């Protein structure tokens, strides 16, 4: 269950730099490439001649060329030419609205007439010289909503990520969950604690003493259809926590773009935008490697959880207070899907 009349991250520019990229988004098989103007384009991954995947072809002078018989497609989904053949009667295939922004290619898998660039989210870290970003992509065999649940309840860090970002104080400190329109916000503030290993490393790289007591924060923000931004960090205890001056804190935003592939698989674009030492590529690489290990632990847990839920679909699950963030997010998604599926009344 996923809304389609919305923007999803489909890929990065590097993913389609050398050849067309085939990727399934919200159950739609698509091919991504750059057209003659250098703009990102997306079509159905289906050649109108014999149904071959266009992603197995190539791009020639901005036209997508099928790798089976050389048919050329335009970015509007209409056949331009085919060696030795007339193509006027070829049926058009579907073209999907695409936008390149924030270092990603975004796609609108629903009704193209409703696509609105103004609905794309904005992020403080995107394009700012004060921030550095590094991340990666995991293909995960689970319902994308399980990942949203996971990110909107960080008490799992104490157990799943015990050697990196987890610590008992996460369990011991209550959190506050609230709705702000279609955004769900969960906050946890821990005061006067020791920093866990990942944050000790980050403090050290930021020129701070990692043995100091710190105030730590986690502020999770879900935005539909499936984005979760998490403000995280530590500050020297007593200097204001999240609001501490930059010289007393090491802070970042965990970036989570969660894109459904099918009902039971997803594309997970993970990353971290940091606001310290933005011009240090070595640090970016170190953090990416460490974060990648952390998220691989989530991947194993979620894929096994998905298999359990498929094996025992009749089992009733418990709902606890720590599940409030994910529950709010699911209700927003459910409302969006219901609105798309509502019958259109003709007067």
Nearest CA among 3, 17, 221 for reference residue 108:
3
pLDDT tier, 253 (very low <50, low <70, confident <90, very high otherwise): very high
**pLDDT tens readout for residues 323-332:** 999 999 999 9
Q: What does DSSP say about strands 214-223 and 132-140: parallel, antiparallel, or unpaired?
A: unpaired
Mean pLDDT for the chain overall = 95
Quick check: helix, strand or coil at residue 12? coil
CA 29 to chain centre: 18
User: Model confidence over 11-25: pLDDT tens digits?
Assistant: 999 999 989 999 999
Superfamily of domain 8-119: Rieske [2Fe-2S] iron-sulphur domain (2.102.10.10)
Residue (of 156, 136, 152) closest to 144 by Cα position: 152
| Per-residue pLDDT at 344 | 63
Whether 164 has a pLDDT exceeding 90, the answer reads yes
User: 190-240, pLDDT tens digit by residue?
Assistant: 999 999 999 999 999 999 999 999 999 999 999 999 999 999 999 999 999
E strand or H helix that includes residue 172: helix 168-172
**Domain parsing of the chain, residue ranges:** 8-119, 132-338
Six-digit token pair at 335? 């409302």
pTM: 0.95
For 257-283, write each residue's pLDDT tens digit.
999 999 999 999 999 999 999 999 999
Given this model, what pLDDT does residue 345 score? 58
In contact, 292 and 164? CB cutoff 8 Å: no
List, for residues 174-196, the tens digit of each pLDDT value.
999 999 999 999 999 999 999 99
Stretch (H or E) spanning 214: strand 214-223
The topology (CATH level 3) of 132-338 is Naphthalene 1,2-dioxygenase Alpha Subunit; Chain A, domain 1 (3.90.380)
Rounded CA gap, 213 and 211, in Å?
Answer: 7
Instruction: Give per-residue pLDDT as tens, 84-122.
Output: 999 888 999 999 999 999 999 999 999 999 999 999 999
């Amino acid at each position: 269950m996923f809304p389609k009349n919305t923007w999803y991250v489909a890929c990065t520019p590097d993913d389609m730099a050398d050849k067309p990229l085939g990727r399934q988004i919200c159950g739609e098989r698509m091919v991504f490439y750059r057209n003659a103007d250098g703009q990102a384009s997306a079509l159905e991954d289906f050649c109108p001649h014999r149904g071959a995947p266009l992603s197995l072809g190539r791009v020639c002078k901005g036209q997508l060329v099928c790798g089976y018989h050389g048919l050329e497609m335009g970015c509007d989904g209409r056949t331009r030419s085919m060696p030795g053949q007339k193509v006027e009667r070829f049926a058009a295939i579907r073209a999907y609205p695409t936008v390149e922004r924030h270092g990603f290619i975004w796609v609108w898998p629903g009704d193209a007439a409703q696509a609105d660039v103004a609905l794309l989210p904005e992020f403080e870290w995107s394009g700012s010289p004060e921030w550095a970003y590094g991340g990666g992509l995991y293909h995960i065999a689970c319902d994308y909503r399980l990942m949203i649940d996971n990110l909107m309840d960080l008490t799992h860090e104490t157990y799943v990520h015990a050697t990196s970002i987890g610590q008992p104080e996460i369990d011991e400190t209550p959190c506050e969950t609230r709705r702000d329109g279609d955004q769900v916000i969960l906050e946890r503030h821990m005061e006067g604690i020791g920093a866990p290993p990942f944050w000790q490393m980050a403090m050290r790289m930021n020129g701070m003493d990692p043995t100091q007591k710190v105030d730590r924060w986690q502020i999770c923000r879900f935005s539909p259809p499936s984005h979760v931004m998490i403000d995280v960090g530590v500050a020297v205890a007593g200097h204001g926590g999240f609001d501490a001056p930059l010289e007393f804190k090491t802070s970042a935003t965990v970036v989570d773009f969660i894109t459904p592939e099918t009902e039971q698989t997803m594309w997970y674009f993970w990353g971290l935008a940091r606001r310290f030492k933005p011009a240090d590529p070595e640090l970016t690489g170190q953090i990416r490697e460490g974060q990648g290990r952390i998220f691989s632990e989530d991947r194993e847990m979620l894929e096994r959880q998905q298999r359990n839920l498929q094996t025992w679909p009749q089992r009733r699950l418990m709902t606890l207070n720590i599940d409030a963030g994910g529950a709010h997010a699911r209700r927003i998604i459910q409302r969006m899907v219901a609105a798309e599926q509502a019958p259109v009344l003709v007067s």
